[in-house]
């Protein structure tokens, strides 16, 4: 039997709490388009995640979910994220119309959800630092 999106969300909440973080499902019939799960981990931004179970090589938010997550992206303290789940692996990516597995950081070997999330986040921070270094270099060269 295939795992449901609700089961994946419960699994994420359990795994985050087990690792000392805070996670909460945020489902409500009146909040159409809002992401599914709030995740707080030490030394990280607040993650707000849209979770999708998928079968093929991509997954996607609804247009309304993408709009909401795009609006949430204005704050550095809040990090909207797409989390796909397929065959016992998590796939992490920034929100976009269609998320391809080749654009994702995904669970490897016996890695936990939190370890994969941290690896994804550390990769995003490294990109920002590289961009900042490049910007500082450009400014010095002027």
- Per-residue pLDDT reduced to its tens digit, 85-120: 999 999 999 999 999 999 999 999 999 999 999 999
Is residue 122 within 8 A of residue 139, CB to CB? The reply is no
CA distance 87 to 8: 11
Pairing of strands 78-86, 46-53: parallel
Q: How far apart are CA 93 and CA 121, in angstroms?
A: 10
Which class in CATH covers the domain with range 5-141? alpha beta
Residue among 33, 70, 36, 32 nearest 51 (CA): 36
DSSP secondary-structure letter at 54? -
Q: What is the residue extent of each domain of the chain?
A: 5-141
Q: In whole angstroms, give the CA distance from residue 42 to residue 21.
A: 7
pTM value is 0.87
Q: What angle do CA 108, 120, 54 make, to 5 degrees?
A: 65
> Smallest Cα–Cα separation from 48: which of 79, 84, 90?
79
Task: State the alpha helices, DSSP H only, in 1-142.
Answer: 5-18, 63-72, 113-141
| Chain segment 21-74, per-residue pLDDT in tens | 999 999 877 788 899 999 999 888 899 999 999 999 999 999 999 999 999 988
């Amino acid at each position: 039997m295939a795992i449901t999106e609700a089961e994946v969300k419960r699994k994420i909440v359990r795994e985050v709490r087990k690792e000392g973080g805070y996670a909460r499902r945020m489902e409500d019939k009146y909040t159409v388009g809002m992401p599914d799960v709030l995740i707080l981990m030490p030394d990280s931004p607040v993650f707000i995640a849209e979770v999708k179970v998928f079968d093929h090589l991509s997954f996607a938010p609804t247009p309304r979910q993408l709009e909401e997550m795009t609006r949430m992206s204005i704050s550095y303290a809040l990090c909207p994220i797409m989390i796909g789940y397929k065959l016992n692996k998590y796939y992490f990516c920034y929100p976009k119309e269609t998320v391809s597995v080749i654009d994702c950081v995904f669970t490897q070997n016996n890695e936990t959800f939190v370890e994969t999330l941290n690896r994804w986040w550390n990769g995003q921070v490294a990109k920002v630092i590289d961009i900042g270094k490049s910007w500082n270099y450009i400014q010095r060269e002027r």
